[in-house]
Amino acid sequence: MRTNTPAAAIEPDLQLARALFEQLRRDSDELHGVAHGITRDTYGAGEQRAHQLMAQTAHRLGLEVTTDAALNLYLTLPGRKREAPAVMTGSHLDSVPRGGNYDGAAGVVAGLAVLAGWIAAGAQPQCDVTVMGVRAEESAWFPVSYIGSKSAFGLLPAEALEILRLDTRRSLREHLAECGGRPAGIAAGEAHLAPARIACFLELHIEQGPVLVEAGEQVGVVTGICGSLRYRHARVLGDYAHSGATPRSHRRDAVAALAEVIARLQQDWAAMERAGQELTLTFGQVYTDAQQADISKVAGLASFGVDIRSRSTASLQEMERHLLAAVAAAEEKHGVRFELGERTGSQPAQMDAVLQDELQAAAQDMRLTHRRLPSGAGHDAALFANQGIPTAMLFVRNGNGSHNPDEAMELDDFAAGVRALAQVMAGRARLAPRH
């Protein structure tokens, strides 16, 4: 079908989008049993099924379908000038265990809906336009940030292939090979993507916090993405002792020492905020050894994880200094020893100012309620931005946050976001009727 509709006004295929969301949910239920939440495990059956669904859909649309060594998925509508840098969009297809159906997947579905609409309208871009289904964004499975997008640029360290998946205790190398990937290509630094060959990268994603919902706004133009600094497997070593027979002066209490560190860092965080810095600090895991700890014992071991996030590298570094100072003080006071373990993290990223303006203009043209806001969560878009690629993100309003089964994105809000995304993509790709 051909149409004289202006390129920017071509309607995305929202019926296709709805069908894909429904199939993604059914596939998770089939693989893991009908339960509360979605599980698309990284380099496992859940993520694999989602990638197969997107590839099959792309084949039906007549798109080019390719993968790289890490099995990232590239779904391409060829442009008239194939040598020109490509416009890219997309997101990840894996989920956290028992998460929601939209986190990540919405960005891939959005890209396919846009291309399906263009194809139905008989339109063609000047350059290639590619929807990327990124692998392994969620570090809930392998404790490494951005495995898929790093691999796409040849940036994943070879040693990361030996990291164990947290549930199976099998290596990334094993899981990747089992799914049909090529670990040797990753180890060799093989790059499928080159920054000079990418005109821009756009990622649509659900908002993972409450800002848009509480403000009654449909979409958000992301200004920057927080980096992270993490000690995932830290612990405090003290001595187990009788709770009644051991006076305070003779205790080496791991829990008391850790509690003091947490309390001190909360004060440091508040002081940094008062000074105008923007960051978050989270102790998401704090526990004693269930086999040894007891109500009648002084705890000799406490384990914890700490997650620090900010758009400012300086703020991340300052909070880490506070952490190390608090640990040193607690060790001296309580006679314990802290082992922080491996330090992991990701770099902050700023979104392209021109693309932010284009997304905001699209939202205004469509009379969408909107605002600009930072992303506290990490996204593959940060990796693209830090390669020097003009990058932007568009958040869609979503109730109940994310990383839980109760994600509540309304499809009308999704449709609004996809239309704004499509307008910017059409302008960047110089979409025109096919001759």
Q: What is the pLDDT along the chain (435 residues), one digit of tens a residue?
A: 344 456 667 999 999 999 999 999 999 999 887 667 999 999 999 999 999 999 999 999 999 999 999 999 999 999 999 999 999 999 999 999 999 999 999 999 999 999 999 999 999 999 999 999 999 999 999 999 999 999 999 999 999 999 999 999 999 999 999 999 999 999 999 999 999 999 999 999 999 999 999 999 999 999 999 999 999 999 999 999 999 999 999 999 999 999 999 999 999 999 999 999 999 999 999 999 999 999 999 999 999 999 999 999 999 999 999 999 999 999 999 999 999 999 998 899 999 999 999 999 999 999 999 999 999 999 999 999 999 999 999 999 999 999 999 999 999 999 999 999 999 999 999 999 887
Both tokens of 178, joined, read: 């089992």
Give the CB-side neighbour count of residue 203, counting CA atoms within 13 A.
Answer: 33
The fold of the 7-226+348-433 domain, in CATH, is: Aminopeptidase (3.40.630)
3-state SS, residue 396: strand
Alpha helices in 4-66 (DSSP H): 14-32, 45-61
How high is the pLDDT of residue 189?
97
3-state SS, residue 168: coil
Domain ranges of the chain: 7-226+348-433, 228-346
Query: Which residues are within 8 A (CB) of 370 and not within 5 positions of it... i.e. 6 or more apart?
Result: 217, 218, 219, 220, 221, 360, 363, 364
Burial class (CB in 10 A: 0-12, 13-18, 19+), 252: buried
Query: Which residues are within 8 A (CB) of 78 and not within 5 positions of it... i.e. 6 or more apart?
Result: 64, 128
Q: For residue 373, how many other CB atoms are within 10 A of its CB? A: 18
First to last CA, the chain: 12
Beta strands in 140-218 (DSSP E): 198-206
Largest CA distance in the chain: 88
The pTM of the full predicted model, rounded to 2 decimals, is: 0.90
Both tokens of 386, joined, read: 């830090």
The one-letter amino acid code at 75 reads L
Q: For residue 430, how many other CB atoms are within 10 A of its CB? A: 16
How high is the pLDDT of residue 354?
98
How high is the pLDDT of residue 434?
82
Backbone angles phi, psi at 247, to 5 degrees: -70, 165
CA 18/CA 335 separation, integer angstroms: 59
How high is the pLDDT of residue 3?
45
Residue 98 DSSP code: T
Q: Please check whether residue 338 is in contact with residue 330, taking contact to mean a CB–CB distance below 8 angstroms.
A: yes
How high is the pLDDT of residue 2?
45
228-346 carries CATH number 3.30.70.360: yes
- CA-atom Rg of the chain in angstroms: 24
